[in-house]
Structure 1
Amino acid sequence: MTSAAETRPPLPPFTLETALKKVRAAEDGWNGRSPEKVALAYSEDSQWRNRSEFFQGRAAIVEFLTRKWANEHDYRLIKELWTFGDNRIAVRFAYECHDQNGHWKRAYGNENWEFDERGLMRIRHASINDVAIDGSERKFFWDRTGPRPLDHPSLSDLGL
């Protein structure tokens, strides 16, 4: 899917500015909900822990995201930088979605990321908890498959 010479800026070592850009790029990618495009941000042999699932490689990432988004309708995600250093970034996030029966949830989580020298994520550890919400409790509103508008509140702004 990618050549050995391909890079995914910003590259490590990260500064506050480049870490913030990397987090926003990840958020925008996931909000686009294209498993194949999202997988390109990860190294060919990227290692993942997502909740209780462990897997490796882009094909597994595509399979996971395809399955995930088939069941999470009207998915909207906000990520926020927690901390960074050298080639690592930690984020906290929340997303809202509903199942095929219209039951809404908000998922809260933390991710630890490690990048290779080309800016591709080679390790992703995600811990996530789900909370059932009523549709009236939703806080994330923007076009269904687009990025979060720059003027939309952050997690901190929303008190999350």
Structure 2
Amino acid sequence: MSQARPAPILPPFTEATARAKVQAAEDAWNTRDPERVALAYSEDSVWRNRDRFLTGRAEIRDFLREKWNRELDYRLRKELWSYTGNRISVRFEYEWHDTAGQWYRSHGNEQWEFARDGLMSRREASINDVPIEESERRLRQL
């Protein structure tokens, strides 16, 4: 028996639906499953992630696969910053370590734009990484 998928969260957003969209994104990204996460983006979605520019769900999926092969034990928290119409702004932080065992806390802001079907058509992300000691971690388990 297959589980029914929840109804998509569609724009225009209210505070409640914007918060639900942010939580759904946090939950999906914390799976570290590129296939699942990529389904939230339109086939022609446009991204800027740091200094990388991506177009399309396939590029996004490949990027996420690379990201989680490099950023190990990734844990993320997102927070709604603002919303209007079909746009949401989010602040976030995540923690991860590299293959040498160095831990980082990455801080950033995202601006999201959604199509009528609720899929993200544009994502702009600015991110800064701060080296931390493992003992400084705040996001051990979500």
Q: TM-score, normalised by structure 1?
A: 0.84
Equivalent residue for 2:34?
35
Post-superposition offset of 1:141: 1.9
Root-mean-square deviation over aligned CA pairs:
1.1
- Letter in structure 1 aligned against 2:121: R
Give the secondary structure class of the aligned counterpart of 1:38.
helix
Q: Corresponding residue for 1:20?
A: 19
Aligned-partner residue type, residue 108 of structure 2 = G
In the alignment, the residues of structure 2 paired with residue 8 and residue 60 of structure 1 have an alpha-carbon distance, to the nearest angstrom, of 26
Instruction: Look up the match of 2:48.
Output: 49
Deviations 1:26-62 (A, max 9, x none): 0000000110110000000000000000010011001
The separation in 2 between residues aligned to 1:91 and 1:23, in whole angstroms, is 8
Q: What is residue 10 of structure 2 aligned with on the other side?
A: 11
Q: Which residue of 2 aligns with 1:145?
A: none
Identical-residue share of aligned pairs (%): 61
TM-score normalised to structure 2 length: 0.94
Residue 90 of structure 2 is matched in structure 1 by 91
**Which stretches in structure 1 are left out of the alignment for 5+ residues?**
1-6, 143-147, 149-160
Following TM superposition, by how much is the alpha carbon of 1:9 offset from its aligned partner in structure 2, in angstroms? 1.7
More strand as a share of residues: 2
TM superposition outliers: structure 1 runs of 4+ over 6 Å: none
Provide the rounded CA distance (Å) in 2 between the counterparts of 1:58 and 1:36: 10
Q: Which amino acid aligns with 2:43?
A: E
